[in-house]
Structure 1
Amino acid sequence: MRAAAAAGEGDQSRAMYELCALLLTVLRSSPELGGGRPWPRQVTAAGVASMLLGASVALMLCGSVTFMLGFFLMPWVIGLACVFLFVGFVTNLSGIWRAIILWLAAGADACSPKVDSASTCT
């Protein structure tokens, strides 16, 4: 099992090494060695414009996908929030009833005949 994992890691590292070597070969190729059309040495305005256009299109596409995911998931989020709100209310319901009963009991004890006659109960 370990040998298979090591072989998989070896394949990945070898593929990464070959990809980097290919990239460096393409970047280092010079037109004098028969490498076709020479690359421009200066960045042109059209190059900058096309780079910015590509970046803005990529951001718009990613933004629309994010918006659509949020749009479709919002009902689930609202539903889950309502469920948590209901569970919290039910959990605190016994505490609320206990507080009401104790408040009513304390009010009834304050006006009981066992207490002083100086009490202000009606």
Structure 2
Amino acid sequence: MKFITAFKAFVSKGNVIDLAIAVIIAGAFKEVVNSVVTLVMTNALEPALEKANVNSLAELPAGLVLVALINFVAIAFICFLIVQSIETANRRKQAVEESKPDPQAQLASAMTHLTEVIEKMTL
């Protein structure tokens, strides 16, 4: 019974659920990339394929491997762009947060200045 309870606790953690959602989205994303790569590569390589009397890349001896390799590179590049944009956004956010003045330091400075002004007025 402890095993089932431990398993339920493991599955209900946010990381596992996030990973499961990422896998589902990646599966859907893969289909989009496959379609785009097939469309682009077929149009880009159409003259060469016609000269070789081949209807599609998959008909070539290593065609399926070539298509899989192109898909991998396309997906890796898009993931790279996504990660880069997220890191850039995080760096900008961090720079904005670091440039904000510390409210405690401002309050202490204001209190010091106010104290000095009051002391000068009483003298």
TM-score (norm 1): 0.31
Task: Give the structure with higher Rg (CA).
Answer: 1
Q: Which has the bigger relative contact order, CA under 8 A and spacing at least 6?
A: 2
TM-score (norm 2): 0.31
